[in-house]
Chains A and B, each alone.
Chain A
Amino acid sequence: EDQVTQSPEALRLQEGESSSLNCSYTVSGLRGLFWYRQDPGKGPEFLFTLYSAGEEKEKERLKATLTKKESFLHITAPKPEDSATYLCAVQVGSGGGADGLTFGKGTHLIIQP
């Protein structure tokens, strides 16, 4: 069974304190790993797609990396507006349907001023 596990469940940082969120996955035939940001009461907002081990993507203070077993979302010098729940999802070749994403439960990030 395909599994996606995110850690930690919750993380509280001071403004400017860099850290990393983890997404480990156990899937067969990974066809893409996606990161989303979700604010309270809103739908997830797409951040990155990673396809192969060693790939990296950056956007402002965020950088996503991918290995064969996990992905990291690095947050550098975060600001309070980076507070949100960050979701990881995998696209697999089978399971969850031909267009299904399997999501992790998310990491709730709070950046304190």
Chain B
Amino acid sequence: NAGVTQTPKFQVLKTGQSMTLQCAQDMNHEYMSWYRQDPGMGLRLIHYSVGAGITDQGEVPNGYNVSRSTTEDFPLRLLSAAPSQTSVYFCASRPGQSYGYTFGSGTRLTVV
């Protein structure tokens, strides 16, 4: 039982480059979310999805896109990387709002 799998674990990008952070879950959870974690800021919601084909913005969506074509996958796309996007990114999933999130192990992204 893999849970929530994020790839890559580490990534260095140059300013202006684009990339996709991958997230996959094998628990058949309907709800999935992306958070970023910065020192002194806590976890902040970027985008979320309540089911395949349904996505919405969170607190800090600018510069990021998401799509949810399947229940299992929820990739996060950085359109044009900026140093302000240097952070640790966590993907999470849960069966519904009454349940706790299961988090992935994170992707540490550095934009230079």
Query: Which of chain A's residues have a CB closer than 8 A to the CB of B42?
Result: 87, 103-106
Stretch in A10-18, A40-48, A69-77 with 4+ CB within 8 Å of B: A40-48
Q: Nearest chain B CB to A42's CB is how many angstroms away?
A: 6
Verify if B33 is at the interface (C-beta below 8 Å from A): yes
Inter-subunit contact A99/B41 (CB<8 Å): no
Q: How far is the CA of A91 from the CA of B104 in the complex (A)?
A: 20
Query: Which of chain B's residues have a CB closer than 8 A to the CB of A31?
Result: 97
Inter-subunit contact A100/B58 (CB<8 Å): yes
Query: How many residues in B have their beta carbons less than 8 Å from beta carbons of A?
Result: 29
With both beta carbons as reference points, the residue of chain A lying nearest to B31 in the complex is identified as: A99
Q: Nearest chain B CB to A50's CB is how many angstroms away?
A: 11
Verify if B7 is at the interface (C-beta below 8 Å from A): no
Inter-subunit contact A46/B50 (CB<8 Å): no
Query: Which of chain B's residues have a CB closer than 8 A to the CB of A91?
Result: 97
Verify if A29 is at the interface (C-beta below 8 Å from B): no
Q: Nearest chain B CB to A45's CB is how many angstroms away?
A: 7
Q: Nearest chain B CB to A82's CB is how many angstroms away?
A: 19
5 contacts between A and B (CB under 8 A): A32-B97, A43-B4, A97-B58, A101-B101, A105-B40
